[in-house]
């Protein structure tokens, strides 16, 4: 058996195709990696409760959630990095004035600060998950939140970037951006796991396709961009594989010599 490597996979557009389906070749490749003694992990912008079914299907219990803000290693919470609640309350007040809904998210659930907004409906439905945020404008009270969703069109997000310097804003949908603690990223989350496992950087791999994967792919030694990735993402990756629909994970793992 080869020395153990750790392979981090993004979910949307990487493990899952455009229809949020797991290609059979991807599932087979993941289990082959595990049989070969490697550690398979997920690195995603999603909340942990948004991909429980996928983790069960692939038997994965190590993951970087919320773009690095909630990290679990072998089923145990390793690190958390919550949002600054005072700044989030101020942002929410501004957003409410602008008719820009906000969704509050912890490791267990998500709640919207306004009921039944069409932008929230459109954005969340695009994820094709079974969870949908119910209304609770004070969900931030008495708990740590690791990410929020600000539903704000592209041309209107600058005011938030200029005025709320505690946060990073990463667009994931034409109508919405992730609101994250400043400097938080998948790359930082991966770093926490790698430090704990004491595995050399030469045996760390990452696959991704989205803008929130750029820091991860530009930091990890063996980075693979999906064929369906944006050009900005491909430009920072060491390797480029086929699209997710065209057996991209299997092809990429063979490309880097893990299969």
**pLDDT value at 113 more than 60:** yes
Report whether 134 contacts 125 (CB < 8 A): no
pLDDT in tens, 12-26: 999 999 999 999 999
pLDDT in tens, 174-191: 999 999 999 988 999 999
Reported as a pLDDT band with limits 50, 70 and 90, residue 35 is very high
Reported as a pLDDT band with limits 50, 70 and 90, residue 73 is very high
Name the segment(s) of the chain with CATH classification 3.30.1240.10: 85-181
* Active-site annotation holds for 136: no
What kind of fold does domain 85-181 have according to CATH?
3.30.1240
pLDDT in tens, 235-252: 999 999 999 999 999 999
Distance CA 254, CA 259 (A): 5
* Averaged pLDDT of the chain: 95
Name the segment(s) of the chain with CATH classification 3.40.50.1000: 6-80+184-255
Distance CA 249, CA 166 (A): 35
Which residue is it, tokens 């999603």? 46
**pLDDT value at 2 more than 70:** no
Across residues 136-144, what is the average pLDDT? 95
Strands 6-9 and 39-43: parallel
Give me the catalytic one of 10, 12, 168, 178. 10
**pLDDT value at 1 more than 60:** no
pLDDT in tens, 158-175: 999 999 999 999 888 999
What are the structure tokens assigned to 116, written together? 């039944």
Give the count of beta carbons closer than 10 Å to the beta carbon of residue 126. 15
* CATH 3.40.50.1000 at 6-80+184-255, yes or no: yes
pLDDT, residue 211, reads 86
Report whether 161 contacts 128 (CB < 8 A): no
């Amino acid at each position: 058996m080869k020395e153990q490597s750790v392979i981090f996979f993004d979910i949307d557009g990487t493990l899952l195709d455009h229809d949020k389906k797991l290609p059979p070749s991807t599932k087979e490749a993941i289990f082959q990696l595990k049989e070969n003694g490697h550690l398979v992990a997920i690195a995603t912008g999603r909340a942990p409760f948004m991909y429980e079914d996928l983790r069960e299907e692939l038997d994965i219990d190590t993951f970087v959630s919320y773009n690095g803000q909630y990290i679990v290693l072998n089923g145990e919470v390793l690190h958390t990095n919550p949002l600054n609640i005072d700044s989030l309350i101020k942002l929410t007040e501004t957003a409410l004035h602008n008719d820009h809904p906000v969704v509050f998210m912890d490791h267990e659930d998500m709640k919207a600060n306004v009921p039944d907004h069409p932008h929230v409906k459109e954005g969340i439905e695009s994820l094709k998950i079974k969870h949908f945020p119910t209304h609770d404008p004070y969900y931030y009270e008495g708990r740590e939140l690791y990410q929020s969703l600000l539903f704000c069109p592209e041309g209107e997000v600058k005011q938030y970037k200029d005025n709320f310097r505690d946060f990073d804003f990463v667009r994931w949908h034409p109508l919405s951006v992730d609101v994250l603690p400043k400097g938080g990223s998948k790359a930082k989350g991966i770093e926490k796991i790698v430090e704990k496992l004491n595995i050399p950087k030469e045996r760390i791999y990452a696959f991704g396709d989205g803008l929130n994967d750029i820091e991860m792919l530009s930091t990890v030694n063996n980075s693979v961009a999906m064929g369906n990735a944006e050009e900005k993402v491909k430009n920072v990756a060491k390797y480029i594989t086929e699209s997710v629909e065209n057996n991209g994970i299997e092809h990429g793992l063979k490309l880097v010599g893990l299969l």
